[in-house]
């Protein structure tokens, strides 16, 4: 079981490393769903992580996942910063106003990020058609989807996540996240048959 820890401060990074986390997802402003962290926080995190893979959230603001051209430019600059600092990967995602995956924007971000690892984030949980959105992300060649199963949290969405894992069939990794705790992790794992999980304290 791979456990990815969401971290938003140096102390949370230290705690995650002490618990033996498999991977860190780094962001700031977690109260609004997370935004791209500063270069200083990324660099200090890489020092503390000491070999633990660090993935960085690429999101210029809170709110919806429909981005303007200037916001896309900001995200591309953030991705370049991540490439320069030597992180393991980035976490991206964009939607169209109709709720479908914005494949054009996501492809631009994806191309800019390679050869870094890429995760599509929980924008997918706001997609108008969840299972079609999964296929769209798979078609782009993204290796991981972070999702709560189109639900308020992963426990409530565990049966939808089970279906998503079956649908993905190894073509991408479905990584349940949101509201996962040590108390419900095993049940979510049992139902979903997922192998990677995302949380703040798992």
DSSP string covering 125-158, please?
GG-SSHHHHHHHHHHTT-SEEEE-SSSSSTTTTH
pLDDT classification of 111: cutoffs 50, 70, 90: very high
pLDDT-based confidence at 33, cuts 50/70/90? very high
- Mean pLDDT value across residues 29-44: 96
Rounded to the nearest 5 degrees, what angle is found at the Cα of 12, between the Cα atoms of 11 and 18?
90
Q: What pLDDT does 45 receive? A: 98
What pLDDT score was predicted for residue 201?
Answer: 86
Q: What is the mean pLDDT of residues 101-124?
A: 98
Rounded CA gap, 154 and 36, in Å?
23
Mean pLDDT for the stretch of residues 96-124: 98
Average pLDDT, stretch 46-67?
A: 97
Q: Report the predicted TM-score, pTM, of the whole model to 2 decimal places.
A: 0.96
In the chain the domains, ranked by start, together with CATH numbers, are 2-197 (3.20.20.380)
Q: Is the pLDDT of residue 95 over 90?
A: yes
């Amino acid at each position: 079981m791979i456990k990815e820890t969401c971290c938003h401060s140096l102390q949370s990074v230290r705690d995650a490393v002490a618990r033996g986390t498999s991977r860190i997802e780094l962001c700031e402003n977690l109260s609004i769903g997370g935004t791209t962290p500063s270069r200083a926080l990324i660099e200090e995190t890489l020092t503390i992580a000491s070999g633990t893979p660090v993935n960085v959230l690429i999101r210029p603001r809170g709110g919806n996942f429909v981005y303007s051209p200037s916001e896309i430019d900001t995200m591309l600059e953030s991705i370049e910063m991540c490439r320069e600092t030597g992180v393991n990967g980035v976490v991206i995602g964009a939607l169209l106003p109709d709720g479908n995956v914005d494949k054009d924007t996501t492809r631009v971000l994806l191309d800019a990020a390679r050869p870094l690892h890429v995760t599509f984030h929980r924008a997918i949980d706001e997609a108008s058609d969840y299972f079609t959105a999964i296929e769209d992300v798979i078609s782009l060649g993204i290796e991981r989807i972070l999702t709560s199963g189109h639900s308020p949290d992963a426990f409530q969405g565990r049966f939808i996540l089970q279906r998503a894992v079956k649908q993905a069939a190894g073509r991408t990794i479905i990584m349940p996240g949101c509201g996962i705790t040590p108390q419900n992790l095993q049940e979510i794992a049992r139902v979903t048959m997922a192998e990677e999980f995302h949380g703040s304290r798992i």
